[in-house]
Amino acid sequence: MKVSSAFLRFQWIVLILIFLVVFAGSFVRMSGSGMGCPDWPKCFGKWVPPTELTELPTNYQEAYLLKRQKKVQKFCKFLDRIGMDATAQKILNDPEVYKEEAFNSRKTWTEYINRLAGFLAGNAMLLSFFWLLLFYRKRRWLLLAGLNLVLMAIEAWFGSIVVATNLVPWTITVHLFLALVIIGLQLYLVHQIQNKEVLKLPQEKQFKWLTWLILLITFYQMFLGTQVREAIDALVKQGYSRAQWIEALGMPFFIHRSFSWLVLILLTYLFWQNRKKWQYARINVAFYLLAAELITGVALAYADMPGLVQTAHLVFASILLAVLLLMKYDQLAQKNHPRTT
């Protein structure tokens, strides 16, 4: 089915906005602004947050803590119902969950901008769904867009849980996982809508299983990296110096570092083969993204984890994952429509 160029461009805009949410979320994490707004969806009870402490009542911390406690209790009841009673009790009994931060306008507006990015992405996805419904009505596209819209709503709700529980580490990981699933689905929708001739792909079995292996390791690496970052945050709170981090981090850090080398070796081999005989552009893009990713990783390890480098590290990883997914989507398209250009 042919679509208008305007509609196709809009799908790419939706994808960019979703990536913007990931970028903004990473910046929030890096700057420690996750609790800049103690409530959700408003920020300090307002659609446009305050800029001065004098705009808030004197008991604002107690008032918002009470609201968060109620949301935490509801969330823990939900966890109980799905069999996660131990996790629920751990959250309820964790004193860190009930700590309130003092108002900081920089952190408040950083978190607020993150929420605006999510608002823009969510509404763009909603517009995309209605555009499909009114003008194209292709079942597969509608299912993809509808499912992604539901996931975006869940992602927004879960963002409120992340705030309510005062950034409990595993909730941040789940939040990232949902964002990556949303990116993957939107990318697949764009790939379907483009309706291009199927690319001439490498036919060797080694190409297929190596791309699968690199994709799976990269996906796992993103979550392992999140765990490492959460562990470092905990070490900082406990007073560990940077020189003590690596020893204290233990096995997750060494697995994360070792897997980075493994991906580099595998992707370098594909890059070398591609230059000799395949000329498949996505491999080149993935290789250069991995190079940028590894450079930021080295900077994190040896340059005291500068903030913007943390954000760049996650953004490069997310884009690399998207390119690897496009490779698999290309393979799926060729399997379903084995014509070549």
How many residues in the chain?
341
Q: What is the pLDDT of residues 196-255, one digit of tens each?
A: 655 667 778 888 899 999 999 998 888 888 777 777 766 766 777 666 666 677 777 788
Residue 194 near residue 330 (C-beta atoms within 8 A):
no
Q: Specify the pTM.
A: 0.87
Per-residue model confidence as pLDDT tens digits over 308-334 = 777 888 889 999 999 999 999 988 887
Q: Examine the pLDDT at 143 and tell me if it is beyond 70.
A: yes
Helix, strand or coil, per DSSP, at residue 43: strand
pLDDT of res. 18: 94
pLDDT at 242: 62
For residue 186, is pLDDT > 70? yes
Lowest-pLDDT range of 97-111, 197-211, 257-271: 197-211
What pLDDT does residue 243 have? Answer: 61
**Average pLDDT of the chain to the nearest whole number:** 85
Q: How confident is the model at residue 306 (pLDDT cuts 50, 70, 90)?
A: low
Task: Provide the pLDDT for residue 199.
Answer: 60
Q: 280-295 as b/e, with b when 16 or more CB fall inside 10 Å? A: bebbebbbebbebbbe
Q: Which domains does the chain have, with CATH numbers?
A: 1-195 (no CATH), 197-341 (1.20.120)
| Structural tokens at position 87 | 């996790």
Contact 143, 93 (CB under 8 A): no
The predicted structure's pLDDT at residue 129: 94
> What integer pLDDT is reported at residue 159 of this predicted model?
85
Q: Is 137 a residue whose pLDDT tops 70?
A: yes
